[in-house]
Structure 1
Amino acid sequence: MSLVELIAQADERGLAASGLACLDRCLPLLGGDDELLRPLWASLADGSDWGPGLEKARAALGPGEAAGSTESAESAESAGSAGSTESAGSAGSTAPEASVGDEAVRLARRMLDAAPAERAADAVRPWADACSVASLRIHRLLDPAADGTPGADGLDAGRAGDTADLPPLVAAELRRQAAVLELLAGHGANGLRRALDVSVEGRRVLRAVVSRRARSAAEPGV
């Protein structure tokens, strides 16, 4: 089943976990503590309100965009959209390293800012979908194998099931997104622990990528 189909069929908890996992994997870009989003995961497990956890996370990371509104969700989706020429261009080899990093950070922050305060399925479905696209775009921006690949974005095709042309970091992120949705669909709340493990693994991978890029940028003559 494609990622698009998994998102379309997911329930409220699965959608919330999917979007949260995307955000959790991208925390290294925001400088957030690894435990910052744990209260949100806990709220998915016990069914409690995640609004206070959202506000605490936003406050810990400093001012951002307006949270929880439809406009913010649409903004996050447009920022992550595979049709964004500006974003796609920033992934190319001619883009300054700082602009690539800034774009990745912007996409990650918008995932948090656009998270709906209420976890109703109608609210979290567009957010989860936007987070999926934004996280894949972040991984493409930072994937060394994607640098200089002319016009090879492929995120829409990958989400629809055609993963042949995706660079390695993006393909791995796509698999993690599918794994989280499958775990929640198959095990409900009991799948949250394994979904969190999948997210933690992805966060470590992204942190390593960010660190390598920072070291490369600091080397003389790079």
Structure 2
Amino acid sequence: MKVIAVNGSPRTNRNTATLLQEALQGAEARGADTKLVHLYNLDYKGCASCLSCKRKGSRLEGLCAMKDDLREVLQEILESDVLLLGSPIFFGNVTGEMRSFLERLLFPNLSYNEGERSTFKGRINSGFIYTMNVTEERAKEMNYEAVFQGNRNLLHILGGDSEILLSCDTYQFADYSKYEASRFDAEQKARVREEQFPIDRKKAFELGACLAAV
């Protein structure tokens, strides 16, 4: 069992990365081999619309034709059993790096033929962890659910099930007094960090364990 986690946050040791690491520990508890990739450490771009993946007779087999730092990562993912994704919500959506990654991973496996959605022959189950500064109630008001379900639908291109985990009202600054951020209650944020985030970490562990057991 091979499980790969992809961190779409610019930070490698904060909320999103921490939850991904918990998920990988859950997978490891089930005996899986794991790997964590930080997208912001790689040099790559989104889909260039070269359409090489759609040419008749293509030998790419679902792998993006672009040759950069992402190519080896994409190859490993296509050969894996489980894909874990994590991204903070920036301006109502995943980070630009995560979006570019999804384009490069999924579009080459999206079929343009009638009656066929995907050309991918395998099955990769996935889990997407979203972290966000807003409360769960506010996320609903802003219709973030459309983003979550939209990505879930896209990940079905990989032939497997796709789970979603939300971590809301996250602790953004180590010291709120140093920033112009009066709309946030620093004490409330600290309480959520102390009381809720450990629960989110446990849920992430369980997510990784569950996906690795399928």
TM-score range, shorter chain: 0.3 to 0.5
More helix by share: 1
| Superposition TM-score, scaled by structure 2 size | 0.35
Give the number of the structure whose alpha-carbon radius of gyration is greater.
2
More strand by share: 2
Q: Which has the higher contact order (CA 8 A, sep 6+)?
A: 1
